[in-house]
Structure 1
């Protein structure tokens, strides 16, 4: 099964120059913990609720801080044509719960999450991804 068959489409995005208060508002309305960051129609990062809380608020940053200042720019992504087992393995290795999905032109076309893997596959792929996510890790990423 391909990632394109299980991913969530029509993902809310934000630009690096928007304030983190807007990112937080998007997360609230979409009931999600992360938003892909696009610049000139290209994926340049991810911002998470954790980025806002830990890199932002805990360090005295206010709601007008730009997304660029708090986002993770070294992101893991998968292709829409990748097999879901490959996506699960990448999520496990990177210890992330969700990854942006790009097409052959490197344009964002969706997100695949642990929930997508557990709902749409036999559960083995979600278990593989969750195994890595559950391991003690190093630096926080996406």
Structure 2
């Protein structure tokens, strides 16, 4: 006589569909941008005026060529003392970051949060057809998380 199992038939795993919680729903579309030949002082003034910590640098066709941040401005301020030069009189091109990770507008905000953690940056430009179309910041992801807090993320 065989051993009988008292375990009933296992139910099929539930198929859980994630709601699309996309970068494009939280990204900024109207951006402050700079050109690489502008002066660092112009960046400093704009960052203060608009209460932002950095902005994309684009060419005449709105293609991303870099990012300039308040940290990059700090480098110029520090160098100006060392070389006894006026603060902010250098062009952005010398100080901007050119190896800039970007993100797809159709990416999930949770994946985006992981990328922020992995890359330790404050913002991701969003590129479409080689053109800058938006930007998502850590603050945008925090806003998304607060809006989603307490909601059922699965349907």
TM-score of Structure 1 vs Structure 2, range by shorter chain = 0.7 to 0.9
Q: State the Cα deviation string for residues 26-84 of structure 1 (Å, max 9, x = none).
A: 1112110101000132101000011111x211112631200000000011111112221
Distance 2:46 2:68 in 1: 11
Shift of 1:106: 2.5
Is 1:27 aligned to residue 51 of structure 2? no
- Among residues 35, 40, 44, which one is paired with 2:65 in the alignment? 44
Please identify which structure carries the higher helix content.
1
- In the other structure, the counterpart of 1:85 is 110
* CA-based RMSD: 1.4
Which structure 1 residue ranges, 4+ long, deviate > 6 Å from structure 2? none
Q: Which runs of 5+ in 2 are unaligned?
A: 1-20, 150-155
TM-score, normalised via structure 2 length: 0.73
Shift of 1:110: 1.6
TM-score, normalised via structure 1 length: 0.79
Distance 1:5 1:28 in 2: 26
- Among residues 89, 97, 107, which one is paired with 2:131 in the alignment? 107
Distance 1:68 1:75 in 2: 14
- In the other structure, the counterpart of 1:71 is 96
Larger Rg: 2
- State the aligned residue count: 121
Distance 1:87 1:77 in 2: 10
Distance 1:83 1:92 in 2: 15
